[in-house]
Chain A
């Protein structure tokens, strides 16, 4: 272990931020490089096509990343300004997507750089929207790279939210709802590195379990490895154009359901279960999440039976449970075309996408705990209408949240809705119908993948013009980084441009 250079203490103001940016960028580059080499390895074991398009950028990225990590100055003890923290996180995802696009372009799977960047961002943001028309025909190494991008994006966000954000700069905690997810107070373990290792271990363990379960349920080895990675990341990239319909196996779907739910649960919750610590407020969130799944599956199942959309109760239950779990965990695997299930189901599914999974998981969306706090806030606002002097305290699972949390959650919701509306406007301006636009925004902003209509479960995002693609990339990035991160950075940038 190298000693911290002495010059770190004499850095000019802002240098800590700059070195943080370099460090994070190097880390992301190195991780991408390793991932590409791994994808090449998997490809070698499979059809062996297009290995060079991964080995070349992979080797370069790994070398550059490692060099950056070795040469970059370590941030000193001075406080890192919020803008620098936000900038480095946003840079990590943007840069990873840029690197991740290279193999797609070199292999010729996607010819336009913008398309490739969209696909890679969809990977690292664990969204799962795709522009590839014929996925079955793509080289295995490229398919493995798509899965690895999602897997890396998933572990990145979990480590960031559960381990790094709560202990980093106090300003940063706000973005990642550290207060709401409850990790800020009772950190898993005091050191970031230790927490990160534990969380990474849980993620890896669940991935391995998912892979084995898929194998046992009858999937081939290559499919199982890929599907396990994209399931745990709640990403939803599949190795088949038809997604899970290609397997047509109830056993595989059950495995997928179990692990999608597992991935959408707060990783801090698992840690607490293992350690025997207090489970609140995470347990309360998990309960609400499971309740939402059961109620929504029941409602969709009922609607399917009423509309005779599928044959028999068993099939209806299977289709409803899989689709509800897939969209609510923001994974985006599909078996049937839920576009044809009528207006009620469509509205339910969009609401599920918007709600998303638990905080501190790989799922996207507003998050169950925030939705719960929003619901409680609404109830209390109504109480204040009738009893203006009532003292209202925001609680969940017996834990009290301070008024800052209320303000942050309400403001989060407001900005979320504004961005959603902006997204719908831009999508319609770039050629989608309203239902497709609403479904498309819900699918990208919440990290789901497939939307409705022209961007529905059996389609891909090719219907979107280039302007819409840029917007979709923004929505995926902003949604993955809990919106505040990216939007606050834009505000800071605008202010810097105005010279304030």
Chain B
């Protein structure tokens, strides 16, 4: 049997085809799974998801086939190519993910469907859905997109990036998350399996706990998927508040915190390996979380924004956790709180949780290193000849890391400023623009003002939704990945081919 001669594509094209093809295949499988779940439920729109899934799956397999048998190893080391492949993977997933929304009539505008799908695969949780009277399949698909996006980013950051050449390592702060120095296991596929296992265990715990605290199987599984992905899509129009159950809130709170921890940390804890510097990051994460909860609680008590002490603590703890982990579930309407608390909420969005987790934001380890670097720079003013080493959890970092962290922060602020400006130019008020950019860039979901905790993103005009979708993509892929694609504008040569 003679093989069909594949069209000529270079090593670079092969890598892109493999990555995009694999992503589409996963998305297609996901849609088919949704169709199966829908058969077990209300049985609506099964055909739409099954057929779209088959088409997308076929497309994905076709692309993977195109890339097979080619030398991809060299291509993997070309940073520009890697960035292109990863960015295209998320973009193509969002485009594919938008199709079912259009076919089911959930959204009539392609931009809205794309926004919702991008919000899903980036695990953001910003939604344009106002009418929650939808077939089961639509909810399953929203949750599953987040679940896939979550495991996708963890595998990319913890397993793939550290062994993919300098450029990609740097983009995914491989030096900082500490997986490079002593890789979990040498082979990507083994690491990925372990990570998927941890993800699976978290999923099982969350599902059991949600059902035990009174959710039905449908809500339980949907919320489980969006919790461990720190995504924040909900089947309930009022989000977690709609269940009005302290038990469910506790489960969500606890699982969000767990999902915000570096997955490499779990692996090391299981294997009994050296926990630094991840343990230092986890400690800082919990400390910041605790301090922010206390500060918000105190301000709410002073301003009497929430009735009663217990309710205040409950809403403050949940809200701070949900924005810091980039989840976006809602219990209390933090948009109606005092301005001090609202500013803290925005700042917690930027802090984010740990590197190598499904959360967004700058990440705790980078924030810690940033503060250390700033303090060292001040020390240097006073003692110009002092020798300084950047350390965390006893581990020294190279000067490259210092520069990368400072550069990252700089770029982050610039992207945020441009994002806010772009959003403001679509005609929304400044608070909506500033918080909308923060909520999307940091992968959180709800913001303040017209897109506050109890509102959807429908308060933002079409142009602003496009900006939001781009910010989600940029934030999810750690800024550098997407922005580096613009590097040729700055004189860098685009080296796609060998």
Interface residue ranges, A against B (CB under 8 Å): 82-83, 86, 170-171, 174-175, 303, 342-344, 346-348, 351, 374, 377-388, 390, 406-408, 410-411, 413-415, 417-418, 421, 424-425, 428-429, 432-435, 437-438, 452, 484, 487-488, 491-492
Inter-subunit contact B430/A378 (CB<8 Å):
no
Tell me whether B344 and A386 are in contact (CB under 8 A).
Answer: no
B409 at the interface (CB under 8 A from A): yes
Q: Report the minimal beta-carbon distance from A20 to chain B, rounded to whole angstroms.
A: 16
Q: Which 4 A-B pairs have the closest CB atoms?
A: A379-B490, A411-B377, A383-B492, A388-B166
| B386-411 interface (Cβ within 8 A of A) | 403-404, 406-407, 409-411
What residues of chain A lie closer than 8 Å to B384, measured between beta carbons?
82, 170-171, 174
Residue B73 interfacial (CB < 8 Å): no
Indicate if B424 sits at the interface (CB-CB under 8 A): yes
Q: Is the CB of A428 within 8 A of B342?
A: yes
In the complex, identify which listed stretch (B119-127, B196-204, B479-487) lies at the interface while the others stay far away: B479-487
By a CB distance below 8 angstroms, the chain B residues around A425 are 340, 343-344, 347
CB distance from B429 to the nearest CB of A (A): 5
Chain B residues with CB under 8 Å of chain A are: 79-80, 83, 165-167, 170-171, 299, 338-340, 342-344, 347, 370-371, 373-375, 377-384, 403-404, 406-407, 409-411, 413-414, 417, 420-421, 424-425, 427-434, 448, 480, 483-484, 486-487, 490-495
**Shortest Cβ distance from A347 into chain B, in angstroms?**
5
Give the A-B pair count, Cβ closer than 8 A. Answer: 168
Contact B487 A385 (CB under 8 A): yes
Contact status B421-A347, CB under 8 Å: yes
Are B378 and A488 touching (Cβ within 8 A)? yes
Q: How far is the CA of A437 from the CA of B430 in the complex (A)?
A: 12
Q: Chain A contacts of B492 at CB under 8 A?
A: 382-383, 386-387, 390
19 residue pairs of the A-B complex, CB under 8 angstroms, read A82-B384, A171-B384, A175-B381, A303-B425, A346-B430, A347-B424, A347-B434, A378-B411, A381-B404, A382-B490, A385-B480, A385-B484, A386-B80, A386-B167, A388-B79, A411-B373, A415-B374, A425-B343, A452-B430
Cα A347 to Cα B374 in complex, Å, equals 27
Residues of B within 8 A of A452 (CB): 430
Q: Check A382–B480 contact: CB distance below 8 A.
A: yes
Are the CB atoms of B409 and A347 closer together than 8 Å?
Answer: no
Q: Is B407 in contact with A381, judged by CB distance below 8 angstroms?
A: yes
A488 with B382, Cβ < 8 A, contacts A387-B79, A429-B340 known: yes
Query: A452 to B383, alpha carbons, bound, how many Å?
Result: 39
| A82-B343 contact in complex given A385-B484, A386-B83, A414-B373, C-beta closer than 8 Å | no
Set of chain A residues within 8 Å of B344, measured between Cβ atoms: 425
Instruction: Please name the residue on chain B nearest to A381 by beta carbon.
Output: B407
Contact A382 B484 (CB under 8 A): yes
- Interface on chain A toward B: helix, strand, loop, or mixed SS? helix
| Known A-B contacts A385-B83, A386-B167, A410-B407; A343 and B424 likewise in contact (beta carbons under 8 Å) | yes
Q: Bound complex: CA of A382 vs CA of B375, how far in Å?
A: 26
What residues of chain A lie closer than 8 Å to B374, measured between beta carbons?
411, 414-415, 418
A contact residues around B480 at 8 Å (CB) = 381-382, 385
- Chain A residue with the shortest CB-CB distance to B489: A379
Alpha-carbon gap, A491 to B404, bound state (A): 25
B421 in contact with A344 (CB, 8 Å): yes
Contacts of A374 in B (CB 8 A): 410
Which residue of the partner chain, among B170, B299, B339, B380, contacts A385 with CB atoms under 8 Å?
B170
With known contacts A381-B407, A415-B378, A387–B493 Cβ distance under 8 A? yes
The interface residues of chain B lying within 8 Å CB-to-CB of A343 are: 424, 427-430, 432-433
Bound: A484/B352 CA distance, A: 27
Contacts beyond the supplied A82-B384, A348-B421, A379-B491: 11 A-B pairs with Cβ under 8 Å: A82-B382, A82-B383, A343-B427, A381-B480, A382-B490, A386-B492, A388-B167, A408-B377, A411-B377, A418-B374, A484-B378
Instruction: Determine whether the beta carbon of B339 is less than 8 Å from that of A410.
Output: no
> Cα distance A488–B383 when bound, in Å?
11
Residues of chain A contacted by B413 (CB below 8 angstroms): 413, 417
CA distance A452 to B424 in the complex (A): 15
* A344 touching B424 in the complex, CB below 8 Å, given contacts A175-B381, A379-B491, A411-B374: yes
Report the minimal beta-carbon distance from B489 to chain A, rounded to whole angstroms. Answer: 8
